[in-house]
């Protein structure tokens, strides 16, 4: 019975693949990037800032591989839905943009090609810790673009004018939050994002929480572990005391309150400066500064988001795809293009590329401050040992729904408990081992 449905999907996939091969006009050599009969055309979907420019640069330099780029909405805004549907329908592009948290989802759905045989030398360019997030079940499934260390962005003009110093610990953050509110009753130091569980997860990661782990052939799930609960209680307190706003991440509402100077700081990742702040608040250039993220006693960071590039299972051009991915993630010109020309502020995962990024970065938004040195310090403190689970879409759905009730009587700790239960249920339903 199961063969029937498989063959059918397979047939659809094969038809679509035929269509693609036919469409690549004379590029007959499928799989071979160095075919003499013209360039291999690969397709690429992403939303990461600056990708259009990077693709243009790649195409201008390469004659054997041509990349057809398509901008898609960001993952949470529908990008992942689009990708999942395309994979299901058998008409997915060759190269996809997948963030670390949901990479295990795609791998466990059997959507991606095993890159292990293609990335031998490439792998050594990334720090072990980040590489580990792309290796699941002993195979390599994706190549990291950026690490996403977390920092505190703050309005230096507001902090200076009111004698507030950037908080070093989370206790300081709470005290600073009260001072901000006192200085201007309409202003708040930051935001709790109920629709963005990834943001909370990165804070739990920083505190030493560990939501998933594996022992042998089974999963350990502990979304409501003591450290994560501490973080939940802490933010619950900030919300109840009206010291932070509760708004959707990157929403018009949030942008408006930043614009109006009513949100004067933002706990975010390296990429947040380029994608969220600088892009939307050009008139606040020079007023912002970067500080290390507040911590629980010793400097530490989690990773908030961060992109990898993967190749889809049905792609017939894995070699060409890896060549392109390798260029995007570890070539100097790719990084200069993305950061210098396209104004991204991502922090490259490849260690060699960090100085390149720092050099191409235009720091006028931060009044001349060298943001990349802050990112670099933060990247050095990313806690080891975090693993993402195989059903983060389901986990995030539950978290998002229950975080949403934080302003109407729900608590964040309850939310963690619910997510724990629904995640274990989901894993069991899929037939995975849970211990």
Per CB under 8 A, which region of 81-89, 174-182, 278-286, 339-347 contacts another protein? 81-89
One residue of 19, 89, 373, 429 binding another protein per CB under 8 A = 429
DSSP bridge partners of 308: 98, 144
Output the smallest distance, CB 432 to another protein, in A: 5
CB atoms within 10 A of CB 285: 13
Per CB under 8 A, which region of 44-52, 134-142, 288-296, 341-349 contacts another protein? 134-142
Per CB under 8 A, which region of 60-68, 198-206, 300-308, 421-429 contacts another protein? 421-429
Closer residue to another protein, CB minimum distance, 7 or 165: 7
Output the smallest distance, CB 156 to another protein, in A: 24
Token output for 290 = 């970067």
Helix residue ranges per DSSP H, 138-292: 156-161, 170-183, 197-207, 226-240, 252-259, 270-272, 279-280
Q: Is 113 in the site for another protein (CB under 8 A)?
A: no
Q: Is 235 in the site for another protein (CB under 8 A)?
A: no
Parallel, antiparallel or unpaired: strands 65-71 and 40-46: parallel
Positions 135 through 194 that interact with another protein (CB under 8 A): 136-137, 139, 194
One residue of 30, 84, 280, 411 binding another protein per CB under 8 A = 84
CA distances from 167 to 154, 171, 289 (A): 10, 8, 13
Can you tell me the distance from the alpha carbon of 272 to that of 304, in angstroms, rounded to the nearest whole number? Answer: 10
Per CB under 8 A, which region of 17-25, 160-168, 292-300, 386-394 contacts another protein? 386-394
Q: Is 217 in the site for another protein (CB under 8 A)?
A: yes
Burial bucket for residue 12 (CB in 10 Å: 0-12, 13-18, 19+): middle
One residue of 270, 312, 391, 420 binding another protein per CB under 8 A = 391
Parallel, antiparallel or unpaired: strands 146-147 and 143-144: unpaired
Output the smallest distance, CB 115 to another protein, in A: 13
Q: Is 110 in the site for another protein (CB under 8 A)?
A: yes
One residue of 52, 261, 393, 411 binding another protein per CB under 8 A = 393
What is the dihedral angle through the alpha carbons of 417, 81, 103, 117, rounded to the nearest 10 degrees?
160
Output the smallest distance, CB 169 to another protein, in A: 29
Q: What is the DSSP string of 24-61?
A: TTT---SS-TT-SSSPEEEEEEE--TTHHHHHHHHHHH
Token output for 72 = 């898609």
Give me the residues that bind another protein (CB under 8 A), please: 1-2, 5-6, 81, 84-85, 88, 104-105, 107-110, 136-137, 139, 194-195, 214, 217-219, 248, 251-253, 256-257, 260, 390-391, 393-394, 397, 400-401, 403-408, 426-427, 429-433
């Amino acid at each position: 019975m199961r063969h029937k449905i498989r063959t059918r999907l397979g047939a659809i996939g094969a038809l679509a693949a035929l269509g693609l091969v036919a469409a690549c006009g004379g590029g007959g050599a499928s799989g071979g990037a160095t075919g003499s009969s013209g360039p291999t055309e690969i397709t690429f979907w992403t939303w990461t800032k600056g990708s259009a420019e990077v693709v243009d640069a790649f195409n201008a330099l390469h004659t054997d591989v041509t990349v057809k780029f398509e901008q898609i909405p960001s993952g949470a805004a529908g990008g992942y839905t689009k990708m999942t549907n395309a994979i299901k329908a058998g008409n997915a592009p060759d190269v996809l943009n997948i963030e670390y948290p949901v990479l295990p989802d795609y791998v466990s759905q059997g959507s991606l090609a095993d890159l292990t045989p293609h990335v031998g030398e490439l792998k050594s360019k990334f720090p072990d810790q980040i590489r580990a997030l792309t290796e699941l079940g002993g195979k390599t499934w994706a190549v990291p673009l950026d690490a996403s260390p977390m920092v505190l962005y703050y309005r230096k003009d507001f902090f200076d004018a009111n004698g507030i110093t950037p908080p070093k610990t989370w206790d300081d953050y709470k005290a600073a939050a009260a001072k901000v509110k006192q200085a201007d009753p309409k202003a708040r130091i930051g935001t709790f994002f109920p629709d963005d569980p990834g943001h909370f997860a990165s804070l739990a990661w920083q505190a030493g929480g560990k939501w998933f782990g594996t022992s042998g052939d089974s999963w350990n799930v502990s979304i409501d572990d003591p450290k994560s609960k501490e973080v939940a209680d802490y933010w619950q307190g900030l919300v109840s005391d009206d010291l932070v706003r509760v708004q959707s991440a990157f929403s018009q509402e949030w942008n408006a309150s930043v614009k109006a100077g009513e949100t004067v700081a933002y706990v975010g990742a390296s990429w947040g400066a380029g994608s969220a702040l600088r892009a939307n608040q050009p008139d606040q250039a020079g007023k912002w500064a970067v500080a290390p993220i507040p911590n629980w006693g010793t400097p530490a960071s989690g990773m908030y988001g961060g992109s990898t590039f993967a190749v889809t299972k049905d792609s017939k051009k894995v070699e060409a795809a890896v060549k392109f991915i390798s260029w995007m993630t570890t070539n100097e010109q790719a990084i200069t293009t993305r950061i210098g020309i396209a104004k991204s502020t991502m922090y490259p995962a490849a260690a060699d590329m960090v100085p390149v990024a720092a050099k191409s970065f235009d720091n006028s938004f931060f009044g001349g401050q060298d943001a990349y040195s802050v990112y670099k310090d933060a990247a050095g403190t990313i806690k080891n040992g975090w693993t993402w689970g195989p059903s983060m879409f389901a986990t995030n759905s539950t978290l998002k729904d229950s975080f949403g009730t934080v302003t109407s009587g729900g608590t964040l700790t309850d939310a963690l408990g619910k997510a724990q239960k629904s995640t274990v249920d989901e894993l069991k339903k899929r037939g995975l081992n849970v211990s």
